[in-house]
Structure 1
Amino acid sequence: MKKLKVMSVIGTRPEGIKMIPIIKTLQNDPMIESVFVNTGQHKDQLDQVLNLFSIIPDYDLEIMKNKPSLEQIIATILIELSKILDKEKPDIVLVHGDTATTLAGAQAAFFRQIPVGHVEAGLRTFEKYSPFPEEMNRQVVGKYTTLHFAATETNKLNLLAEMVKEDEIFVVGNTVIDALIDVSSKQLEIPAHIRSIIDNPYRTILLTTHRRENLDELNDVYKAVNHLIKEYNDIQIVFPIHRNPVVRNIVSSSLPKNPRIHLLEPLDYYVFSQVMKHSHFIITDSGGIQEEAPALKKPVLVARKSTERIEGVEAGTLKLVGTNTEAIIKESQKLLDDSGYYHSFFQNKNPYGDGKTSEKIVSVIKNYFSS
């Protein structure tokens, strides 16, 4: 009997973290032939994740060699992936989320009339430029998609509002919980300088910022951090800085040298998960962290004007504070001073899944083709 051929296309670190559990499930299924394409959009950071989970791509496009523009990234992936599709002729192409790789991967499959499975479908802010360009990427990908794998009922409702057929939508949870459970079970070495940070007596505030739409307002976020460091002698800031040179320039001009502000290079996923586990709370504009932190019972202050993870806000695991200095200071103070308020963030069920999302997705794919 001919095996079902499933091609997974990813290119960034967040995609890797969330898609590797699916790729591993596909590889372990005797009825499926798995093909994995790495576009190399975030090559160094994604390679760290692939090495952690012992996953090797079948194809590695390495598209970022000449520092291409966003338009060139999409065009290159579209052209090179089309060649691979012609060679492999998969039954379905899986893409994740809302990156340039996602958009180009879905479009390449559509041009070959190959069904697309969209993992983490239905996330919406309904604001064209927030996040930019991710919001429009995921809306466009939804038009190419055959199987929509939504993390939550809210995501399903978003898709239904866009006239997606209900029998094409599957609420399966988020694979980031699968990945977090997997990586948390590992016993790996943590670099000595990181170990010294997480083992010291200070309460840790983990900070991450990288959104394009926030670049002009990052200084306001860092003003809040500076205020908190001066006000509280028992806290420290742990800040793995995004590789975007614009972000780095703003950080260097906004955050003074301070022994309790730890400016770090990006951390591999295992080490980052350990820092999250040891954090008191998190200030972030990241999407994935909004899903991961509730599983670790860590409050999250979302430094964005809007979030597509509205379930976390409704469940009380996230607090939307934007980039406003005063709002960040006020909510941070409450988390540092009010234990009742602090614990309220994780008294409710994590809305993002039970760690079995990958199995559910693979089962849906097999049922779709068997019927």
Structure 2
Amino acid sequence: MTYKRKICVVTGTRAEYGILSNLMSQIACDDELALQTIVTGSHLSEEFGYTYRYIEEDGFHINAKVDMSLTGDTPVSITKSTGRAVIGFADAYDLLKPDIVVLLGDRYEILAAAQAAMLMKIPLAHIHGGETTEGAVDESIRHAVTKMAHLHFTAAESYRQRVIQMGENPRNVFAFGAPGLDNFAAMDLPDRTSLELSLGIELKAPLFLVTFHPETLANQEPSAAVQPLLEALAAFDDATCIITKANADAGGRAINAELDAFAKKYPDRVLVTTSLGQARYLGLLKLVDVVIGNSSSGIIEAPAAGVPAVNIGDRQKGRLRAPSVLDCVNVPLDITKTINMCMSRDFLESVFSSENPYGQPGQISKKIKEILKGINLDHILVKHFFDVDEDKENQRK
């Protein structure tokens, strides 16, 4: 019997799974690979909708569940949960014995998964490294995971260069694009009628898709930080707002309480949901007039869907942007002004002739899968620091 290389994909949130789902399908359909799936974080939380069920509904077998016991969202609670997760990942890896562990992004669940894999001498492949998000603690986690990883799949060439600048071997750093974009080509997305039936709300224009997460390095209380956005949305009294709740970062629960209260004020035109699922989210992206908030989906997926985005505050500061993404400070007047600009005909006609800096949907996940399948793992755990200045000097000789 031919040995199949075991590729273990770790996912801790609904958004992260959406980005990884096409890659998981590519791995599962390859006769030379065996997909292993570990779920953790908010996937296993009733409060966040038990989103691991979406993974099972898509036909994937979950090999292990690492319960982090997310009983709170204070920094102390999250730190303790991360420690518990390291223990859980050690047990899961010991059971599954993967050849490669695939991690995406920059959340604390991923930090725990990376630590355990590193200490157990399992090769790590990291997706979406090299990026900067100056308003969140994720910034430090992302770069820490980069230094623990052995294979790197960045979303743009400039991010590839940054990973190399951090001392990673250029031969193991690949810039194929953002794999979540492949879902636009791979999934059958629901139409307006299906979405209205599913969500129980009429999707009247103007239609806004809103996500607001905690800005974890800010000094402002999360419940106060979301108020300018809610005040701006209230000013558009004819708009339909579909709002997805905040993630499990510190302060997420406080934001979600404010979102629920806002929806109760405007039940006919505001819907707040824990999770839309990937198909409904992307289907809505194709229909909405503006994406609003501080989520990376406004930076990466919205331009691919041909939709303008309003990016609020500093949470995504440092990331590449398409011309269709407009930044604003977190005050009601500036948010309102930027939303109106995004809906102006002149703006729409001027921005969508340019390319998305995160690549084109279709082949990104397949390219990542081929590297995971074909890369020689002999000696990959031994990392030599790649000195950029030394390399430039050698090229001049």
TM-score between both structures, scaled by the size of structure 2? 0.82
Deviation digits for residues 26-53 of structure 1 (CA, Å, limit 9, x no counterpart): 1111111221111243333532531452
Find the residue that maps to 1:42 and give its secondary structure: helix
Could you tell me how far apart the structure 2 residues matched to 1:18 and 1:203 are? Answer: 27
Q: Give the one of 336, 343, 351 matched to 2:349.
A: 343
Residue identity opposite 1:357 in structure 2: I
2:386 maps to none
Q: Give the AA of the match of 1:274.
A: G
Which is worse superposed, 50-59 or 358-367? 50-59
Deviation at 1:319, TM superposition (A): 1.1
What is the identity, as a one-letter code, of the residue corresponding to 2:355?
Answer: K
Query: Is this contact kept in 1: 2:189–2:279, CA < 8 A?
Result: no
Q: Please list, as runs of the form range in 1=range in 2, the aligned pairs for 1:64-83 lying within 5 A after superposition.
A: 64=69, 66=71, 69-83=77-91
| Partner SS, residue 319 of structure 1 | strand
Does 1:369 find its partner at 2:369? no
The 1-side partners of 2:266 and 2:227 are apart by 17
Deviation at 1:185, TM superposition (A): 4.6
**RMSD of Structure 2 on Structure 1 (CA):** 2.6
Partner of 1:59: 64
CA gap 1:104/1:270 in 2 versus in 1, 3 angstroms? same
The match for 2:27 is 26
The code of the aligned residue for 1:271 comes to: R
- Confirm whether residue 258 of structure 1 aligns to residue 263 of structure 2: no
Gaps of 5+ in 2: 379-397
* 1:302 alignment partner AA: N
Distance 1:260 1:331, change over 3 A: farther
Which amino acid in the other structure matches residue 197 of structure 2? A
Deviation, 1:301, is 0.6
Deviations 1:137-161 (A, max 9, x none): 1111011010011011121122133
State the match for 1:358 in structure 2.
365
Does the aligned pair in 2 maintain the 1:48–1:268 contact within 8 Å? no
1:147-296 to structure 2, matched below 5 A, reads 147-185=151-189, 189-190=194-195, 192=197, 194=199, 196-198=201-203, 200=204, 202-213=205-216, 215=222, 216-229=224-237, 233=238, 235-242=239-246, 244-251=252-259, 257-258=265-266, 261-266=269-274, 267-296=276-305
Q: Which amino acid aligns with 1:340?
A: D
SS at match of 1:221: helix
> Whole-Å Cα distance in 2 between the matches of residues 142 and 360 of structure 1?
20
CA distance in 1, matches of 2:196, 2:85: 35
Q: 1:168 & 1:116 partners in 2: Cα distance?
A: 11
**Who is 1:99 aligned against?**
107
Pairwise CA distance, 1:326: 2.2
**How far apart, in 1, do the equivalents of 2:50 and 2:162 lie?**
31
CA shift in 2, pair 1:308/1:156, >3 Å: farther
Structure with greater contact order relative to length (CA < 8 Å, sep ≥ 6): 2
Aligned counterparts of 1:356 and 1:19: Cα–Cα separation in 2 = 13
Q: Is the 8 A contact 2:106 2:142 kept in 1?
A: yes
Letter in 2 for 1:17: G
- 1:39 and 1:192 map into 2 onto residues whose CA distance is 31
**Higher mean Cα deviation, 27-36 or 251-260?**
251-260
- Aligned match of 2:131: 123
CA distance in 2, matches of 1:308, 1:30: 41
Normalised TM-score (structure 1): 0.87
Q: Give the match for residue 389 of structure 2.
A: none
Q: 1:53 to 1:364 in 2, by over 3 A?
A: same
Q: CA deviation at 1:254?
A: 6.0
Q: 1:86-113 CA distances to partner (integer Å, 9 max, x unpaired)?
A: 2322221111111122111111110011
Q: Deviations over 1:116-149 (max 9, x none)?
A: 1001111113x3xx21x31111111011010011
Deviations 1:31-89 (A, max 9, x none): 11221111243333532531452222111233337558212221122111112222322
CA distance in 2, matches of 1:361, 1:91: 15
The one-letter code of the counterpart of 2:110 is: T
Contact 1:16 1:46 in 2 (8 A): no
Of 303, 316, 325, the residue aligned with 1:318 is: 325
Instruction: Map Cα deviations across residues 191-216 of structure 1 (whole Å, 9 max, x no partner).
Output: 62636422x3x211222112243724
| Equivalent position amino acid for 1:35 in 2 | Q
What is the distance in 2 between the residues matched to 1:105 and 1:49? Answer: 21
SS in 2 for 1:41: helix
1:331-351 deviation line (CA, Å, top 9, x unaligned): 122233x30112333221222
SS at match of 2:128: strand
CA distance in 2, matches of 1:157, 1:325: 37
Corresponding residue of 2:5: 4
Contact 1:16 1:49 in 2 (8 A): no
CA distance in 1, matches of 2:60, 2:297: 21
Which of these residues, 134, 138, 142, is aligned with residue 134 of structure 1? 138
CA spacing shift, 1:330–1:256, aligned 2, 3 Å:
farther
Distance in 2 of aligned mates of 1:66 and 1:14: 21
Output the amino acid matched with 1:330.
K
Aligned identity (percent) is: 21
SS at match of 1:310: coil
